[in-house]
Amino acid sequence: MKILFSPSETKRPGGTPPPLQAEDMLFPELFNLRKTVLQHYTDLLREADDETLKKLFGVKKEDQLQTNRSVNLFQDPTMKAVMRYTGVAYDYLDYETLSEQEKTFIDENMLIFSNLFGPILARDRIPYYKLKQGEKIGDFAAEKYYAEHFTQALDNFLHDAFIVDLRAGFYLKFYKLKQPYVTMKFIKNGKVVSHWAKAYRGMIVRALAKYRPQNEKMFAEIPFENLSIVEIQKSKHKTEYIYEIIS
């Protein structure tokens, strides 16, 4: 199976050598296409004024501006993407406490749609960076670029896989699925939850790493903690499981 997931705006600094390189990324043959996006970002860090960069980063304080401005994507140390991201969903995934077998499953089967690096695997090694969700890199729209240049490779990579798509809405712009997939919605007292959806996505991925379903039937049988299926809606390729939060 494959899990499609979002990045987070908050990230863990630091890392270890080596710096970013093709062989540590999904689709190494497309690395030069990724570098086009990274060069746009690098040029903007060098050329843009402070206010432009504060908007790009989504920060207000001067020290935050300078920290993020000093990033060098091509020379800085790297770490696994699943470790780099530290938002709510990743906190609830709690990757470091998984078994080695579960970590391997996440490493090889969770696709993260980075707004800078594009589609990457959880195991891919990336440097620290800061880019607010939905922000263009100057006048460059990375989501359109990746949709244009990486769709065929993703189609091939995902062919015939059982797919659970847990991406937030913005990241659907990077890649549109053209085969059957499962997605999920979480409700509480009859209303769709927003903030807590991130937490439940993290918990869902953790459960998927434990049970490793290979088809929808196996997925539907997973006893997700504090969730109860209330409805299943089907439309074209999408099957949406709607869960009531019961605690």
Q: Per-residue confidence of the chain (247 residues) as pLDDT tens digits?
A: 999 999 999 999 999 999 999 999 999 999 999 999 999 999 999 999 999 999 999 999 999 999 999 999 999 999 999 999 999 999 999 999 999 999 999 999 999 999 999 999 999 999 999 999 999 999 999 999 999 999 999 999 999 999 999 999 999 999 999 999 999 999 998 899 877 899 999 999 999 999 999 999 999 999 999 999 999 999 999 999 999 999 7
Please list, in sequence order, all residues whose beta carbon lies within 8 angstroms of the beta carbon of residue 68, skipping any fewer than 6 positions away: 53, 57, 59, 129, 130
The whole-number pLDDT of residue 247 equals 72
Contact 45, 74 (CB under 8 A): no
The per-residue pLDDT for 196 is 83
Name residue, tokens 């993407």: 81
Other beta carbons within 10 angstroms of residue 77's beta carbon come to 15
- Calpha distance 129→101 (Å, rounded): 29
- What are the structural domain ranges in the chain? 2-245
Closest CA to 61 of 42, 40, 69: 69
pTM above 0.85, yes or no: yes
How far apart CA 111 and CA 172 sit, in angstroms, is 13
Find where tokens 């969770």 sit: 110
Closest by CA to 188, choosing from 246, 107, 236, is 246
